Amino acid sequence: MSVDLTTRYLGLDLAHPVVPSASPLTGDIDHIHALVEAGAPALVLPSLFEEQIEHDAMAIHFSLEMGADGFGEAPDGFFPRLDDYNTGPEDYLDLIRRAKREVSEPVIASLNGTSIGGWTLYAQILADQGIDALELNIYKIAADFRVSSAAVEDGYLRLVETVKRSVDVPLAVKIGPYFSSMADMAVRLVDAGADALVLFNRFYQPDIDLARLTVEPDLVLSDPIELRLVLRWLAILHGRVPCDLAATSGVHGSEDAVKALLAGATVTMMASALLRNGPQRLGEVRDGLATWLGEGGYESVAQARGSLSYGAVPDPGVFARTGYMKTLTSYVPTW
Ligand SMILES: Cc1cc2nc3c(=O)[nH]c(=O)nc-3n(C[C@H](O)[C@H](O)[C@H](O)COP(=O)(O)O)c2cc1C
């Protein structure tokens, strides 16, 4: 019996739930073709960064205001037509156009920033290119001693509200795990306009180079153990927050995808494993997922989704503090 792998994410009907997440692989049209050939049901493009576009967006904003003052009523309004502006991140817009033209799978663009600025105008510009959805990656290191956690969270919410107001495509919000109250934050992000939450952003930690006595930025690909944190929050949020949930960080093989699904993921996303092993890994994970579900007697991804989530397991406390002391005190040293 074949398993129905179809999945609806951000209002998009996908052939299955194993999606390549934002990485250099989706930033190149040849790689995009390779990913689609390997079975990618949708593509999340790498991010356009606030730093890349802020200056250009402010310039557009300025032109808009000048235009409105200078020309009175314009038949097409004053929103800049892209070909009228040399706006800088033209390569990104080109990538969207080519992806939309050359593959039929949905294209999810990504914006990465922390603050409300003219750059949120870019959300609209990306939407105008025909993207199917937008992922907003909020990557903030809250290192200002005078900014409270409440103020940081308000900043997130205002950003989501602002971006949501400027686009009419579905909006996913990619966040890190470092909130004091993740469950409350998740609800407020959805209230602010998030149609999906992408759990979790990986923060790239700088390392200290002891030989040179310098601090170096460092990018280390993920390890499957990182999925554990994602599983916990998928399980807690599934069915209790009205949005889709995407799992990112630590999905390397089909068993990881199965676990994310059972915990409650709408889709699972992959970057590190694809960068390490190539696009065909995606098809392997999809096939492994189908095999596991089939052997387990599941008819569909929908049937399996969330079957080990907070609301479905006999002891949901296992996702919170239950077992914490026992786990620590029962550990047997191996030496
Ligand atoms: C080289 C590299 C580049 C990435 N670029 C982006 C990006 O532009 N925007 C983004 O939201 N995430 C980016 N990510 C994060 C991935 O999309 C993904 O969320 C993260 O790597 C965790 O998933 P994984 O365990 O499958 O790697 C990048 C990751 C890597 C390794």
Type of residue at 103: V
The closest-lying atom of ligand 1 relative to the alpha carbon of residue 250 is 25
Are residues 40 and 20 in contact, defined by beta-carbon separation less than 8 angstroms? yes
In tens, the pLDDT along 142-154 reads: 899 999 999 999 9
- 36 sits in which H/E element: helix 29-37
The CA angle 247-253-254, to the nearest 5 degrees, is 85
Smallest CA separation from ligand 1 atom 3, residue? 23
Closest CA relative to residue 230, chosen from 281, 172, 182: 182
pTM, full prediction:
0.90
Paired tokens of 149: 């956690």
Are residues 269 and 7 in contact, defined by beta-carbon separation less than 8 angstroms? no
Q: Which residue has the tokens 């998009």?
A: 12
At residue 74 the predicted structure's pLDDT band, cuts being 50, 70 and 90, is very low
At residue 118 the predicted structure's pLDDT band, cuts being 50, 70 and 90, is low
Tell me how far the alpha carbon of residue 202 lies from the centroid of ligand 1, in angstroms. Answer: 7
Which conformational region is residue 270 in: left (phi greater than 0), alpha (psi within -120 to 50 degrees), or beta?
Answer: beta
In tens, the pLDDT along 188-212 reads: 999 999 999 999 999 888 999 999 9
Smallest CA separation from ligand 1 atom 30, residue? 23
User: For residues 170 and 134, what is the distance between their CA atoms, to the nearest angstrom?
Assistant: 6
Paired tokens of 64: 């808009």
Tell me how far the alpha carbon of residue 290 lies from the centroid of ligand 1, in angstroms. Answer: 25
In tens, the pLDDT along 273-327 reads: 999 999 999 999 999 999 999 999 999 999 999 999 999 999 898 888 777 888 8
What pLDDT is stored for residue 187 in this prediction?
98
Tell me how far the alpha carbon of residue 61 lies from the centroid of ligand 1, in angstroms. Answer: 30
Burial status of residue 105 (CB atoms within 10 A of its CB: 0-12, 13-18, 19 or more) = buried
Helices 182-192 + 149-166 axis angle, to 10: 30
Are residues 99 and 107 in contact, defined by beta-carbon separation less than 8 angstroms? yes
Closest CA relative to residue 92, chosen from 58, 146, 132, 46: 46
Paired tokens of 291: 């095999």
Question: How far is CA 237 from its chain centroid?
Answer: 16
User: For residues 15 and 86, what is the distance between their CA atoms, to the nearest angstrom?
Assistant: 37
Mean pLDDT along residues 42-49: 94
What pLDDT is stored for residue 78 in this prediction?
32
What pLDDT is stored for residue 335 in this prediction?
87
Q: Which residue has the tokens 């190539």?
A: 278
For residue 1, is pLDDT > 80? Answer: no
Smallest CA separation from ligand 1 atom 13, residue? 22
Pocket of ligand 1 from Cβ distances under 6 Å: 21-24, 46-47, 110, 112, 137, 174, 202, 219, 221-222, 248-251, 270-273, 275
User: For residues 32 and 13, what is the distance between their CA atoms, to the nearest angstrom?
Assistant: 19
What pLDDT is stored for residue 69 in this prediction?
38
| CA distances in angstroms from 71 to 53, 60, 68, 74, 81, listed in the order given | 26, 16, 6, 7, 15
At residue 54 the predicted structure's pLDDT band, cuts being 50, 70 and 90, is low
